[in-house]
């Protein structure tokens, strides 16, 4: 337990660089042992000032680098399956950013590979499980104080979409977080999805259908709606309201600072998910490092990653068809309860 956990970080882009900083400066009990990125200079920039780090351009080389005892995957989603299977083959514990694997078939292969091991090695990075407001809402719903949850109203807004962002990504990238959060908050699987599309904002890039309204049905009759608007122009905003039989509870309103002066008040709005969920990411990676050093795996599982991908795929089909699409999940292996 006294030895630092050597972590190989795969991907040194926006998310990966932030995790490298986090492991080096915030998380106790861990260190950055290796970094892999196809762009070697980007990887070198991300680890500037950090000692004893192996910089590689190939995933396998980073996994086999000296001192690596765990893996944090922050590369683009299509690269995750190969990285996860490589970590499993080496018996390395993993924290994998979402989407675990964008395509449900690939995600299911990861589930089956881990199930064959007979033990969990991977945690999926759905960081809202570690956000203080979401944790409070989860505790309240689990307590039953407000009765049975009937609906969740969710909002997911970004300042602007990055280059190459597609209409499908509103569901399989942005709303993927709400998919997981709804499953977790309600303890239910999502069984069907419908996507409605208002007139697109003039701020949306040409060809991008934005905003959208996504409606999920659950296995026990609750409804979950999500307004997703990735070119809102003003900030990054995530809210969730639970409507239950005996009351409601809303989160997302109190996170920002309100400044009052000169005859008025101004509420700051986060401009980036790394700002809004900074504390959640810190708690998530710290909890993962602590559990890994103790030989345990906690947090969202690869089954959760697979379910999110399967629901998102149904959501993309609903986008394309304009109708209601049911969600089909494979049988859940016993490893995941």
Which strand (E) or helix (H) includes residue 249?
strand 247-251
Q: How far apart, in whole angstroms, are the C-alpha atoms of residue 196 and residue 280? A: 31
Residues 143 and 24 in one domain: no
Confidence class for position 297, pLDDT limits 50, 70, 90: very high
Whether residue 304 lies inside any domain: the answer is no
Q: What is the pTM of this model?
A: 0.95
Q: Are 141 and 267 found together in one domain?
A: yes
Stretch 223-239: mean pLDDT, rounded? 96
Number of helical H runs and strand E runs in the chain:
11, 15
122-175 pLDDT tens trace: 999 999 999 999 999 999 999 999 999 999 999 999 999 999 999 999 999 999
Chain-centroid distance, C-alpha 278: 13
Over residues 186-192, the mean pLDDT reads 98
Which residues, including other chains, have CB under 8 Å from residue 8's CB and lie 6 or more apart? 33, 34, 35, 36, 62, 63, 65, 68, 70, 71, 72, 92
Mark whether 251 and 292 lie in a shared domain.
Answer: no
Q: State pLDDT tens for residues 43-73.
A: 999 999 999 999 999 999 999 999 999 999 9
Confidence of residue 261 (pLDDT cuts 50, 70, 90): confident
3-state secondary structure of 133: helix
pLDDT for residue 272:
85
Same-domain pairing of 69 and 82? yes
pLDDT in tens, 18-38: 999 999 999 999 999 999 999
Both 30 and 61 in a single domain?
yes
Question: Do 75 and 201 share a domain, yes or no?
Answer: no
The predicted pLDDT at position 260 comes to: 80
C-alpha–C-alpha distance, residues 193 and 17, integer Å: 34
Q: In angstroms, rounded to a whole number, what is the distance separating the alpha carbons of residues 237 and 158?
A: 7
| Residue 212 in domain | yes
Percent of the chain with pLDDT over 70: 98
Domain that holds residue 196: 132-273+309-336
Q: Are residues 254 and 286 located together in one domain of the fold?
A: no
| Statement to judge: residues 19 and 154 lie in one domain | no
Shared-domain flag, residues 183 and 210: yes
CB-based contact 322:315 (threshold 8 Å): no
Average pLDDT of the chain is: 96
Is 306 in contact with 113 (CB distance < 8 Å)? no
Q: Name the helix (H) or strand (E) containing 312.
A: helix 302-321
Q: Which backbone phi and psi does 3 adopt, to 5 degrees?
A: -80, 140
Residues paired with residue 151 on neighbouring β-strands, in sequence order: 223, 243
CA distance 290 to 301: 17
Report the candidate in 298, 299, 274, 282 with the shortest Cα–Cα distance to residue 28: 282
**Strands of the sheet with 70-73, listed across from one edge:** 54-56, 30-36, 5-10, 70-73, 94-97, 122-125
174 and 76 within one domain: no
Q: Is the pLDDT of residue 187 over 90?
A: yes
Is 184 among the domain residues? yes
Residues with Cβ < 8 Å from 53, sequence gap 6 or more?
Answer: 32, 33, 34, 35, 47
Tell me, what's the pLDDT at 256?
67
Contact in structure between 240 and 234 (CB atoms under 8 Å): no
DSSP 176-195: HHHHHHHHHHHT--EEEEEE
* Domain tally, the chain: 2
């Amino acid at each position: 337990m006294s030895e630092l956990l050597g972590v190989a970080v795969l991907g040194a882009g926006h998310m990966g660089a932030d995790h490298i900083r986090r492991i080096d400066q915030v998380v106790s009990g861990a260190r950055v042992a290796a970094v892999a990125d196809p762009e070697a200079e980007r990887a070198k920039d991300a680890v500037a000032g950090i000692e004893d780090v192996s910089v590689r351009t190939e995933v396998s080389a980073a996994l086999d680098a000296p001192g690596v005892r765990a893996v944090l995957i922050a590369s683009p989603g299509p690269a995750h399956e190969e990285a996860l299977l490589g970590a499993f083959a080496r018996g390395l514990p993993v924290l994998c950013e979402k989407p675990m694997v964008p395509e449900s078939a690939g995600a299911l292969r990861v589930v089956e590979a881990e199930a064959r091991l007979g033990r969990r090695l991977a945690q999926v990075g759905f960081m809202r499980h570690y956000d203080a407001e979401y944790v409070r809402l989860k505790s309240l719903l689990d307590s039953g104080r407000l009765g049975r949850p009937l609906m969740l109203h969710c909002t997911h807004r970004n300042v602007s979409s990055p280059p190459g962002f597609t209409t499908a990504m509103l569901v399989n990238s942005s709303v993927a977080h709400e998919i997981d959060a709804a499953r977790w908050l309600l303890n239910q699987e999502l069984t069907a999805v419908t996507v409605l599309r208002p007139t697109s904002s003039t701020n949306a890039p040409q060809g991008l259908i934005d905003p959208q309204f996504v409606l999920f049905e659950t296995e026990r009759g609750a409804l979950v709606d999500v307004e997703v608007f990735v070119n809102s122009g003003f900030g990054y905003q995530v809210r969730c309201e639970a409507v239950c039989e005996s009351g409601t509870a809303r989160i997302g309103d109190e996170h920002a600072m309100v400044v009052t002066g000169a005859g008025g008040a101004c509420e700051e709005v986060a401009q980036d998910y790394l700002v809004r969920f900074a504390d959640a990411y810190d708690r998530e990676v710290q909890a993962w490092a602590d559990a890994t050093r103790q030989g345990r795996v906690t947090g969202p599982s690869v089954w959760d990653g697979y379910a999110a991908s399967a629901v998102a795929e149904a959501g993309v089909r609903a986008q394309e068809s304009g109708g209601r699409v049911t969600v089909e999940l494979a049988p859940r292996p016993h490893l995941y309860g």
